[in-house]
Structures are given as structure tokens and as C-alpha cells.
Amino acid sequence: MGTLVYAGATSHVSGIIRNPDAHPEHSPRLDQAWQDMAAALETADPDVVIVIATDHYETFGLENYPIFCIGAADQHDPWNEHGIPGRTVRGDERAALALHTELVAAGFDVARSMDMRLDHGFTVPVQRLGLDERRIIPFFVNCNTPPLPALRRCRDLGSALREAIERLPEGLRVAVIGTGGVSHWVGVPRTGDINEAWDRRFLELIESGDLDPVLAMTDDEIDADAGNGALEIRTWIVAAACAGSSGGRLLAYAPMHAWVTGIGIVELAVTA
């Protein structure tokens, strides 16, 4: 059976790679948090890392836009959009197909892609956390184009993903990283705004493991209070539920105005 050996969540804005020292008053703290997460991942030594993220109309467009999709290939090429350098990463077709089979059997109509290229939502955390040499399974969650999956559906998906991981063959060691958010507005008049109070409240709830107040939010409330970009908290919910919803530890937070995003980094407690 497979084992979940690490779980975490982090924001993924492209400025993390393009302009890492944007705010000297915040950047060192964030940099240390990513180093700590990378070190913990190295210690956990997973055979495969499931990166749960959205896509920003690079791989998926309106002609073919799934709600959930797992990338099942032995390699994944980057888009290198936003001027982000990147290179092809290894995948794990066999493990991804096994997860896909289990999730569909559990009642989740997850699509699969045998040729899933990765945009910055995936490549930024892979690069920043030193996962370039690990086998990566990309797991897409629609956070951009209504109708979006319900927050509770994302919680249930995370729980089902944990069960699917534990049914993987050959004793695979698995890490899960959710990536997106927190508050930011994209392509609208409020672009550049950050709601630090909302971010800190959300991160407190993730730390405590109390997902119920998060799941009670409506998309309209999230959009109004934290921006259309904050709808990406779906990826955090999937990761937290996969870990066991027992909370975690905030490694760092900063309102990074140069990146037009509130940046959160959390290590999630993995429970039985």
C-alpha cells in the first residue's frame, strides 16, 4: 500500500521565481519558510509528489475545461509563461492511472490527461521547493471558470485521494502539495489589493484543522472579500483533507504587494 509521508500548501505566483527579493522586509522570511518546507520534503523522501493546482488557460481552454484532471504521463513539459524558466519534469504514469482508477471508482469523475503541460501554478512550487528531480503527478482543480466544484466536494475529493494513495501498489511514498491563493484580484479593477485580515483568518482555520467555516463560505463572499484569485483555496482544501484535516503549522505569511498576492506557506499535519 502507499503512504502519505508529507503534506503542505503554498501560494504559487510567478513573482516568486522572477522577482524573489521584491520586498526585503518580507522576502527573507518567506525564503526561509520555503527552505524549511523543501528540507522537510527531502527528509520525507517521497517517491512521487502530487501537486494540486489550477491552470491559467495554458493547458486547458474553454474548448476543453474539466472540473478535475490528473496528469498521467512519464514526463510533463512546462509552458514557461511569464518569463519563468523551467524544464521537463518526470511524471509517474502508472501511479497516476492507479489513482485515477480509484477516484473514479469512489464516485469522482476525474478526467485524465496523457499529455498535461504545466503552467506556473505547478512549476513555481516544483522549482521553489527543489522538486525538479522528483516524480510529479499534477492534479488540476478548476478554480477559474464557473461552475466551480463546491468547496465541500473538494474536501471530499481530498479524503478520497488519501484513500486512493493508501491503495497504491508497491509501498509508494507520496507527498501532496496544494498550491494557490491566498487573497488576490486578477484582471479586475481591484488588481493589486490584498486582504491581510482575510488571509490570516483563513490560515488560522487551516492551522486549526477546522475546515467547516471555510466550507461555509460562498464563492461570492470569497470573491468580494479576497478576490477572484482566492477561489484557488480549493487546492488547499483538497490537500488539507488528504492530510487528514488535523491542522498544521504556518511557516510564513506576507502581503506581497509587488506580487499582487497574499503569500501563505503551511505545513499540514499528516494523520492516520
Give catalytic residues, as residue numbers: 120, 184
The answer to whether the CB of 52 falls within 8 A of the CB of 235 is yes
The answer to whether the CB of 93 falls within 8 A of the CB of 116 is no
Residue with cell 496544494: 178
Closest CA to 88 of 128, 115, 66, 52: 115
C-alpha cell at 26: 518580507
Rounded Cα distance between 18 and 149, Å, is: 31
